[in-house]
């Protein structure tokens, strides 16, 4: 039995290669209204993508947004300030504890009316525009474009 020689496979370009290393460090304290707005818009995107029609789509959107709002209140997310650092290694979120999220876990970066939504393999990270400077918004838009290109491959 013979085996084929190993072939060299190039890795896809890192999504963060376009980011200035120190540009994305910011703090977020969510409000219930802002958080539910993110979840309403993201729920709408997921429901449209699955081609669920009215009235089921409205029911699912209301149910998911209400569930997210209840989760927000019960976990006290409005009382915490989250510190984010985004660099070539991934995302670091600090609030009482440290959460490290590698780029392999980031499925997409979506743009909504209130900010960016980082869609992870397990969950989401909303990032409001109000917490970012103009340069950081540009860097996040560039990151979203790079993640979109990687998703199309």
Q: Provide the domain count of the chain.
A: 1
pLDDT single digits (tens) 2-11: 544 444 433 3
Instruction: Tell me which of 12-26, 84-98, 134-148 is least confident.
Output: 12-26
Q: Please report, for the domain that includes residue 38, its CATH number.
A: 2.30.29
Contact indicator for 101, 93 with CB cutoff of 8 Å: yes
Residue 7 resides in a domain: no
Domain extent, residue 53, equals: 20-152
Helix axis angle for 32-49 and 56-74, nearest 10°, is: 150
- Averaged pLDDT for residues 37-54: 82
Cis peptide before 43 (omega within 30 of 0): no
Residue 1 resides in a domain: no
Residue 80 resides in a domain: yes
């Amino acid at each position: 039995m013979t085996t084929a020689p190993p072939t060299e496979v190039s890795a896809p370009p890192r999504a963060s290669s376009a980011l200035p290393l120190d540009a994305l460090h910011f703090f977020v304290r969510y409000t219930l209204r802002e958080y539910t707005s993110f979840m309403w818009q993201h729920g709408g995107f997921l429901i449209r993508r699955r081609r669920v029609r009215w009235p089921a789509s409205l029911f699912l959107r209301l149910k998911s947004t209400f569930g997210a709002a209840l989760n927000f209140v019960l976990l006290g997310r409005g009382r915490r300030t989250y510190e984010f650092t985004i660099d070539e290694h991934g995302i670091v979120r600090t609030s009482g504890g440290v959460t490290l999220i590698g780029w392999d876990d980031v499925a997409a970066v979506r743009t909504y009316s209130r900010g960016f939504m980082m869609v992870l393999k397990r969950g989401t990270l909303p990032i409001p525009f109000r917490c970012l400077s103009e340069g950081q918004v540009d860097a996040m838009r560039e990151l979203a474009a790079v993640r979109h290109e990687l998703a199309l491959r």
